[in-house]
Amino acid sequence: MKRKKSDYALNKEAPDAIVYQDAYDNIEPLTSEQFSSAEEFLKWKRWSDENYHEQEKKNNIAEKHTVPLSDVPEAKVAEPSHEAQIAEDKAEAERLEELKRLLYEVQDLISEKQFRRLWMWRVDRMREEEIAKIEGIRQQNVSKSIQAALKTICEHFKK
């Protein structure tokens, strides 16, 4: 169970003792009677106050600049390892190379006009009417061109 007061606060509240936490998490005081002289006690009291204060400052900085895992979205906590990211990047690069190869293969199958219209329709997500307006032709011509391109591609890849 976490204590409500820090070692620094407990030590400052006890001007006649040096407060410390023992191995069993008990708070124990060292009084001036346990030192060889009052000067020796005061020397160690000043040191403990400074030491606890430094630790308190470090803890405060850490707490202010640290986010508890409970506050972090699960997606951020479950980031892949460096090795997994490298493998994923490699697989993605291979997938893109295969897509490029297939794209060039499709480009060789159909006319430049069909490819351009198919690209605008599938990749740019344009409607046939928009493509027709850009090219200054009727929508039916765009539709026939796209359908012919798709038929050619499907026949090629059925083989």
At 76 the pLDDT is 57
Answer for the pair 8, 38: CB distance below 8 angstroms, yes or no: no
CA 56 to chain centre: 30
CA 37 to chain centre: 57
Answer for the pair 20, 34: CB distance below 8 angstroms, yes or no: no
Answer for the pair 27, 19: CB distance below 8 angstroms, yes or no: yes
Cα(133)–Cα(130) distance, integer angstroms: 5
Answer for the pair 41, 29: CB distance below 8 angstroms, yes or no: no
At 77 the pLDDT is 56
Query: Cα angle vertex 114, ends 131, 112, to 5°?
Result: 115
Query: From first to last of its 159 residues, what are the pLDDT tens digits of the chain?
Result: 556 778 888 888 888 888 888 888 788 888 888 888 889 888 988 898 888 888 888 877 777 777 676 766 665 556 778 898 999 999 999 999 999 999 999 999 999 999 999 999 998 999 999 999 999 999 999 999 999 999 999 999 887
At 8 the pLDDT is 81
At 133 the pLDDT is 96
